[in-house]
Amino acid sequence: MSRPRFALLLLACASVLCLGDMRGDDAPKSPKGDATNQPSDRPLKAVSGKGKKAPAGVTKPAEEKPAAKEPKGGKAAGEASAEKQPVPMAPAIKPAKLNPTQTRYVKNELLPAFQAGEPLTLLNLVSSQMPRWTDPQIAGMNQLLGENDAPTLDRIVTDVRMNLIRVGMAESGPEYSAREAAIVLRELKRQAEEIVAQVEKLELMQDPLPQPKSLMEFRDYLWTAHVQNNQLINASGLAHQGKLLTQAKVVTKARSTSAADKAIFATDYQKLFDRIKALHQEL
């Protein structure tokens, strides 16, 4: 069954469920258990992806666990999916030990500015300092921010820049330095690829399409598709902004940048955008 036809079938079954709730004619099909118990159990089974091999063992979920461990001959498919994971992952950066001045800066200036929720104040505070910071120093700041229940510096700055773009105030912020552009591009890539990885793992994206056994399971699949659809829209926006930033003069004419920053500047965000678009159409 093709995915477009499957989506139409999902919509049709969802409408039948709504009509059944209005007329009260869905009760005769659930004499074995409460309707409130089934939605909480079945979605968990659907997400686990263990119902592919044993359609006959529906009444014995405990027997499905060894079925997931048995396929020794299916290692090729498992290894193929595992090989895809290390590709987008960047090497971990060892955090540097912050000196007392940097520690005071994070605790007394950066954290209060973030908690105040004033984006322009925050950007003016951080942008002028970024060219001085190395990746290990930023990693040390991120560690200290995490200890105080705050996002990473990369995430804070990127989110502020994207929010200013959404409200039409991008030009009101300070100009990018090459260092800040590299940090923002790295975070845009990380967030977009994280969403892509989540979508690719969905049961709805696997080659044998799932076979829901009830209308409630149809509803759960519809809701999952709706949520991930919105996530892909967000990811495409991140990839588009990454493409625009790599075309800016601050990147194209950047000099004296590190090898890591040069690698980020060379990222093909159009290719990432096309990948997200293809996933969006398939979902």
Tell me the three-class secondary structure of the chain, residue by residue.
CCHHHHHHHHHHHHHHHHHHHHHCCCHHHCCCCCCCCHHHHHHHHHHHCCCCCCHHHCCCHHHHHHHHHCCCCCHHHHHHHHHHCCCCCCCCCCCCCCCHHHHHHHHHHHHHHHHHCCHHHHHHHHHCCHHHCCHHHHHHHHHHHHHCCCCCHHHHHHHHHHHHHHCCCHHHCCCCCHHHHHHHHHHHHHHHHHHHHHHHCCHHHCCCCCCCCCHHHHHHHHHHHHHHHHHHHHHHHHHHHHHHHHCCHHHHCCCCCCHHHHHHHCCCHHHHHHHHHHHHHHC
Taking the CA of residue 67 as centre, how many other CA atoms within 13 Å lie in the half-sphere pointing to its CB? 16
The more confident residue out of 11 and 209 is: 209
Torsion region of 133: left, alpha or beta (phi above 0 gives left; psi -120 to 50 gives alpha):
beta
Q: How far apart, in whole angstroms, are the C-alpha atoms of residue 268 and residue 247?
A: 11
Token pair listed for 10:
């999902």
Q: How far apart, in whole angstroms, are the C-alpha atoms of residue 16 and residue 26?
A: 10
- Share of residues in the chain with pLDDT > 70 (%): 67
Q: Looking at residue 13, what is its pLDDT?
A: 55
Average of per-residue pLDDT across 80-108: 72
Tally of CB atoms within 10 A around 36: 7
For residue 117, which phi and psi values (nearest 5 degrees)? 70, 30
Q: How far apart, in whole angstroms, are the C-alpha atoms of residue 199 and residue 217?
A: 18
Q: Looking at residue 99, what is its pLDDT?
A: 92
Closest CA to 204 of 231, 235, 226: 226
Q: Is residue 255 very low, low, confident or very high in pLDDT (cuts 50, 70, 90)?
A: confident
Average of per-residue pLDDT across 34-44: 36
The more confident residue out of 97 and 92 is: 97
Residue 27 reports pLDDT greater than 70: no
What is the average pLDDT value for the chain, to the nearest integer?
76
Per-domain residue ranges of the chain: 90-174, 191-283
Average of per-residue pLDDT across 19-32: 42
Residue 17 reports pLDDT greater than 90: no
Average of per-residue pLDDT across 266-281: 92
Q: Is residue 11 very low, low, confident or very high in pLDDT (cuts 50, 70, 90)?
A: low
Average of per-residue pLDDT across 36-65: 38
Q: How far apart, in whole angstroms, are the C-alpha atoms of residue 7 and residue 220?
A: 13
The more confident residue out of 3 and 178 is: 178
pLDDT tens per residue across span 210-247 = 777 888 888 887 888 888 888 999 999 999 999 999 99
Burial 145-165 (b: 16+ CB within 10 A, else e): beeeebebbbebbbbbbbebe
Q: Looking at residue 117, what is its pLDDT?
A: 87
pLDDT tens per residue across span 134-177 = 999 999 999 999 999 999 999 999 999 999 999 999 889 999 99
